[in-house]
Amino acid sequence: MVNPSVVPLRSGIFSDRLRARLAPVIAVVLLLVALLLGVALGPVGLDMGKIARTLLGIHGGLTGTDRTILLQLRLPRVILAALVGAALAASGSAYQAVFRNPLADPYLLGVAAGAGLGATIAFIGRDPGVTPSVPIFAFFGGIVAVASTLIIAGRRMNDPPTVLLAGIAFGAFATAIQTFLQQRNSAVLRPVYSWILGQLNGAGWPTVIDVAPYILLSLLALHLLSRRMDALLLSDDEARSLGVNPGRLRMMVIVIATLATSTAVAASGLIGFVGIVIPHLVRSLTHQATSRAISTIAVAGAAFLVLADLGGRTVVSPAELPIGVITAFVGAPFFLFVLRTRGRGLV
Partner 1 sequence: MIRFEDLNVRLGGHTILHGVDLAVDRGGWTCLIGPNGAGKTTVLRSAIGGIPFTGRIQIDGMKIDRVDPSRIAYVSQRPAIPEGMSVGEYVRLGRFPFGTPRSDQRGAKVVADLLEELNLDGIERQSVTSLSGGEFQRCVIARALTQEALVLLLDEPTSALDLHRQIEVLDVIDRRRNDGLTVLSTMHDITLAGMYADKFVVMDRGRIIIEGPPHEVANSVDLLRTFGGGIDVLKNLDGLPVVFPKRETPNS
Nearer to partner 1, 27 or 293 (CB): 293
CA neighbor of 254 nearest in space, from 265, 244, 246, 243 = 246
| Window 279-308: residues binding partner 1 (CB under 8 A) | 283-284, 287-290
Distance CA 188, CA 67 (A): 36
Q: Which is nearer to partner 1, 72 or 241 (CB)?
A: 241
Residue 235 interacts with partner 1 (CB under 8 A): yes or no: yes
Q: Residue 13 interacts with partner 1 (CB under 8 A)?
A: no
CA dihedral (303, 305, 306, 307) positive or negative: positive
Work out how close the CB of 178 gets to partner 1 at its nearest, in angstroms, rounded to a whole number.
Answer: 34
The single residue among 234, 315, 338, 339 that binds partner 1, judged by CB under 8 A, is 234
CA 27 to chain CA centroid, Å, is 15
Could you tell me the smallest distance in angstroms from the CB atom of residue 113 to partner 1? Answer: 27
Cβ neighbours of residue 258 under 8 Å, at least 6 residues apart? 91, 109, 111, 142, 143, 146
Task: Give the range of 123-131, 132-140, 177-185, 229-237 binding partner 1 by CB under 8 A.
Answer: 229-237
**By the rule CB under 8 A, 80 interacts with partner 1:** no
Neighbours of 155 (CB within 10 A): 7
Q: Does 250 bind partner 1 (CB under 8 A)?
A: no
d(CA 89, CA 275): 4
Backbone angles phi, psi at 87, to 5 degrees: -65, -45
Give min distance, CB of 163 to partner 1, in A.
17
CB of 15 to partner 1, least distance (A): 9
Note whether 163 binds partner 1 by CB under 8 A: no
- Contact between 7 and partner 1 by CB under 8 A: the answer reads yes
For position 21 contacting partner 1 by CB under 8 A, the verdict is no
The residue type found at 246 is P
Between helix 160-184 and helix 189-196 the angle, nearest 10°, is 150
Closest distance to partner 1 from the beta carbon of 311 (Å) = 29
Task: Check residue 56 for interaction with partner 1 (CB under 8 A).
Answer: no
Closest Cα to residue 119, out of 40, 185, 52?
185
Angstrom distance (rounded) from CA 233 to CA 239: 8
Residue 67, interface with partner 1 (CB under 8 A)? Answer: no
Given the rule CB under 8 A, which residues bind partner 1? 1-2, 6-10, 16, 100, 102, 227, 230-231, 233-238, 240-244, 283-284, 287-290, 344-347
